[in-house]
Amino acid sequence: MGKEQTSRDSFSSRWGFILACIGSAVGMGNIWRFPIMVQKYGGMTFLIPYVIFVILIGSSGVIEEFALGRRAGAGPVGAFGMCTQERTGKRRPGELVGALPIVGALMLAIGYTVVLGWIFKYTFLSISGGLFGLGTEMDAIIGAFSATAPESETLGGALGMMAQNGFFGIGNGLWQAIGLVISLAIMALGIAGGIEKANKVMMPVLFFLLLALGVYIFTLDGSAEGYRHIFTIQPAGLASPEVWVFAFGQAFFSLSVAGNGSVIYGSYLSRDEDIPSSARNVAVFDTLAALLAAFVIIPAMAVVLGEGINEVKSGPGLMFLYLVHVFNAMPGGRIIGVIFFVCVLFAGLSSIVNLYEAPVAFLQEKCHLNRFAAVAGIGIIGFAVSIAIQPWTSQWMDVVSIYICPLGAMLAGIMFFWVLGKERALSAVNEGAHKPIGRWFYPLGKYIYVPLALLALVLGIVYGGIG
């Protein structure tokens, strides 16, 4: 373990690590899902259970994954292998199980590559004026996005559609390539020199721009109706199981507990850093980013759509259809669109480098490739597959988020809380901490968090996705 760590890159500062982790957590779910969940389920009626679950998961799963990665000095394969070796003397079983979160990270990164291509294109269009030029006619806005993101109900149909058109004849291949090359360039510069430096720029700018948008929209006539949606509380709604299910799902997926991204970032963390404090900061700032997005999007939709806000659904359609219409209809809409899509671009970039990092680190650890070769190898796989699956992106992401991510989180929790053992687990958490973590932590993780990860899997299957 010690030998492995001496040759690894690492974060150069505590806040560099925290900002990178915030960047990994702040993603599309904060922007195209969270605001609609808040609006749909009654504002504070949704936010109360959401905050409860953020505290619960941040105090258990996030800490666990950071500590697991740091103790092993490796990604999921090495970390799971360390757990089984320390418990049974055999490393191989853990390494085999650890392959699943690696596959999950790569699959999610591939789907995200498609989405990032859409974001890069729309950011360019917002700057060039092409997006504002679509006006407020939904037929034109829908037509533009349909050309960017063709759809197919089956994977076979998607592959056939792309093949018949030479893979670049339809879809968004050029912008996908641009987005991926920029992401890989950040990664090729290393952890401290690339990922950390990029997040030190992108995250403060993201928060500042979202705050500026929120202040501007507050000044517009009609925005008050949006705040009513946010601050409403319906006591009867708190008795609805559906509200609690989707609040749990939003918190679970927003905090990026999947046994991969948080584990690999934790592996680059100094032994002197206070993991519980870092986990708390990540949970707080991820929640703050989601709230800022809600304070931008919900009042903005109220300004333009009025009661029509109740018809809006979450997902890509919110960001690439409804919000384009909303911004184009607002005073200063062209500038608002530019600022908004720059925010989305930073959120997408910071998330995708985290998703690709676990597979890249795996090639470095197990195949002994240098950083550039590992990044290039994973990048080629990501580009080839993402180009081919474009019309099936939604279903691809559903498979990963419903099945693989919760399973990866549960396996990481089992390895840390059940296999590694109490003394080693607490030692991993307390190393570098200003004070030992409370006695509540271990039973909370072992008997509450791990079953909740299993519940996320089951509920995702039942509801067709909860986050």
Burial profile 88-111: b = 16 or more Cβ within 10 angstroms, e = fewer: eeebebbbebbebbbbbbbbbbbb
Q: What is the mean pLDDT of residues 288-298?
A: 93
Q: Taking the domains of the chain in order of start, what are their residue ranges?
A: 10-463
pLDDT of residue 317: 87
**Is the model's pTM score more than 0.85?**
yes
**Is residue 393 scored above 90 in pLDDT?**
yes
Backbone angles phi, psi at 165, to 5 degrees: -105, 20
DSSP state of 415: I
pLDDT tens digits, 234-245: 888 899 999 999
Positive or negative, the Cα torsion across 226, 232, 234, 238? positive
**Is residue 168 scored above 50 in pLDDT?**
yes
pLDDT of residue 257: 94
Closest residue by Cα to residue 64 from 436, 444, 416, 434: 416
Q: What are the DSSP calls for 118-154, one per residue?
A: HHHHHHHHHHHTTTGGGTT-HHHHHHHHHHHS---SS
Q: What is the mean pLDDT of residues 345-365?
A: 94
> In the CATH hierarchy, which top-level class contains the domain 10-463?
mainly alpha
- The Cα 69–Cα 57 span in angstroms is 17
DSSP state of 89: S
7 falls in which pLDDT band (50, 70, 90)? low
**Per-chain mean pLDDT for the chain:** 92
pLDDT of residue 143: 95
pLDDT tens digits, 250-292: 999 999 899 999 999 999 988 988 999 999 999 999 999 999 9
**Is residue 458 scored above 80 in pLDDT?**
yes
**Residue 442: both structure tokens together:** 């271990």
- The Cα 30–Cα 309 span in angstroms is 18
pLDDT of residue 305: 83
Contact 367, 155 (CB under 8 A): no
Q: What is the mean pLDDT of residues 147-156?
A: 94
- The Cα 124–Cα 333 span in angstroms is 15
pLDDT of residue 3: 38
Q: What is the mean pLDDT of residues 148-167?
A: 93
Contact 426, 435 (CB under 8 A): no
4 falls in which pLDDT band (50, 70, 90)? very low
Q: What is the mean pLDDT of residues 365-391?
A: 95
- The Cα 159–Cα 385 span in angstroms is 10
Q: What is the mean pLDDT of residues 315-319?
A: 88
**Is residue 6 scored above 60 in pLDDT?**
no
